[in-house]
Amino acid sequence: MDFSAVLFDLDGTLTDSLPLINHTYEQVFQELGLVWQPTAVMDMIGLPLRQIARTFAGDRDEEFLRLYQHYYMRDHDQWMRTFPWTQNILGGLQELGLRLGVVTSKGRAGTDRTMSFTGLHFEVVVTAEDTPAHKPEPGPILYALAAMGVNAAAAAYVGDSSYDILAGRAAGTFAAGVTWGAASRERLAACEPDAIFSEWQDLVGFFRRNNRP
């Protein structure tokens, strides 16, 4: 097995942002008078915000989106952080000569805010606004790979949700899940990923063993 590039999901995979996302949704539900459904909301993390808004708010989806963006941006810097091991992962993969990118279902404004605040940098960053189809469809991953000039067979996609695993498999990449984000190991395993990592050392170690000399 030989890899040239590794693409990552962002929220819950590289950034410890699920508390911010949960906090934001809870405020939106309260303001719109919707019944708060934390489990149902968390199960949809990884899908585009507009799809989630339509699911829970119906024809009030535009109001839902507006409120979400307001609260998310207002509280972003207070709640946003990377995981303690994020830089270890990225640094370890860069030492192996691997090219790195991000494919997220997050919008461009929120993604740019997170990248600026955390200091994360990647060769390519694909957001929900860059492709007409979204995860679990393969389009965003294939878009990123085309921008990098990398064949799917030489790439991995790493994420914390079932939608990430399904998108990676559909794109033809090595599809890997991490257990420190939104989905449990059991839910990830149900999507038949190529690998599941519970520790960052295991993730980096895998690519070290399978990277070209």
Residues with a catalytic annotation lie at 9
The whole-angstrom separation of Cα 75 and Cα 161 is 24
The whole-angstrom separation of Cα 161 and Cα 124 is 21
* Alpha helices, H only, the chain: 18-32, 38-43, 49-57, 61-79, 86-95, 108-118, 139-148, 162-171, 185-190, 200-210
The whole-angstrom separation of Cα 186 and Cα 163 is 14
The whole-angstrom separation of Cα 207 and Cα 50 is 35
Sheet strand arrangement including 99-103: 124-126, 99-103, 5-8, 155-159, 174-178, 195-197
